[in-house]
Amino acid sequence: MRADFFSRLLEFRDAYTKGRTERGVSYALAIGREIGLTQEELDHLQTGGLIHDVGKVAIPDIILLKPAKLTAEEYEVMKLHVQYGYELVKDLGFPKEALDVLLYHQEKFDGSGYPFGKKGQDIPLLARIYTIADSFEAMTSRRIYKKSKPWKMALAELEELAGSHFDPDIVPYAVKVFEKIKPKEHILPEVDTELEKIRWSFYYVDFSGAIKGDLFLPTLNAFIEKGDPFCLTFFDVENLFEINQKFGWDKGNEVLKTLVNSINLQCCAMHDIRDLVIKLMRQDVIDITSPVIFRIGGDEFAVIAPYIPPPEKVEGVIKAMREKGVSIKALPMRFPESFKSSQEVLNVLVSFTKGVSIHLE
């Protein structure tokens, strides 16, 4: 079975791996050639790189696709992808040297890696090479929870971690290779297919029609870092508890859907939320021209708008909901006049919600 089948399989499972394996393999081969590996060794290195992450197909979506740093418990589950991958391909005829890349690419030179805690020369050479290539690729690519490192900063980090994470004898060869390569900073995954829109919308769109709060802080930080003026408005349903008590939870849920629809009509001119989710996951914040609605709590919503909506739009939401017997309070803020950091926003939010716990990471 061709090794590239497994890298393609993983790309269908997690679109954010698209291109990652190809880049990692190309980096590893360049390092291997610089060191002077034989063609047979290079072939094993390439095969091992193509299959190294296939075990991630067994990791639950809630962990594999999480748009934020993993918790300690989630990381322990993610670490299992090495053993899962080995079990998946061990009987398919791949050479031992290639399987070694899969098994040991998460080991660190000082023994602090996983799954076996091997150290130094006990880690097979090809795995030591691929670890450097894969790590450099990760440093210079970006995800929703982290920026890519500038090329020179990533090179400096390789040298800094030589002897701890990486083989200090291989790092100089890697640095020499990467210094010759044209920097490919801010690499973005391609997640623009209809399948991905559906997958991400199921995962990140709340039943109310708003985007789940997981993406609120990364988006807010991206807008702040961009530096252009924008508007942030909080909405809170003040009498949802009473509505739930009097009419039942289904009625309360309908209220939340109605509020999101009203915000869309008044402030957002309706938009394809699936496209917005894709843009947020790609972190293309500068391309977002429509307001984005997040559900950040039980009955709290936030709207980030790249322009400053007229006050009557917010009042229109409040009036439309009041006519349905729903009491809404709102708090419009402007960047940078009202706040200059996400921490300031969170402080205001705690006061606005009277200390109610909100669902942010």
Q: Which domain holds residue 63?
A: 4-180
The fraction of the chain above a pLDDT of 70, given in percent, is 84
**Nearest to 46, CA basis, from 121, 101, 125:** 101
Res 54 pLDDT > 90: yes
CATH no. for residue 218? 3.30.70.270
Please identify which residue in the block is written with the tokens 């091992």. Answer: 48
Pair (168, 229) in one structural domain: no
State mean pLDDT over 63-71: 77
pLDDT at 358: 47
Of 69-83, 115-129, 177-191, 300-314, minimum mean pLDDT range: 177-191
DSSP 162-216: BTTTB-TTTHHHHHHHHHHSPP--SB-----SHHHHHHHHHHHB-TTSSEEGGGH
Model pLDDT for residues 11-53, shown as the tens digit of each residue:
777 766 667 888 999 999 999 999 999 999 999 999 999 999 9
Q: What global pTM score does this model have?
A: 0.68
Pair (201, 340) in one structural domain: yes
Of 35-39, 68-72, 122-126, 145-149, minimum mean pLDDT range: 145-149
Q: How far apart are the first and last CA of the chain?
A: 41
State mean pLDDT over 351-359: 61
pLDDT band at 61 (very low <50, low <70, confident <90, very high): confident
Res 145 pLDDT > 70: no
Pair (210, 329) in one structural domain: yes
Res 186 pLDDT > 50: no
pLDDT at 9: 80
Of 29-33, 172-176, 323-327, 356-360, minimum mean pLDDT range: 356-360
Pair (199, 309) in one structural domain: yes
Pair (60, 158) in one structural domain: yes
Into how many domains does the chain fold? 2
State mean pLDDT over 65-88: 89
The helix (H) or strand (E) run that includes residue 91 is none
pLDDT at 68: 67
Res 360 pLDDT > 50: no
Q: Write down which residue in 123, 152, 180 finishes a domain.
A: 180
Catalytic center residues: 56
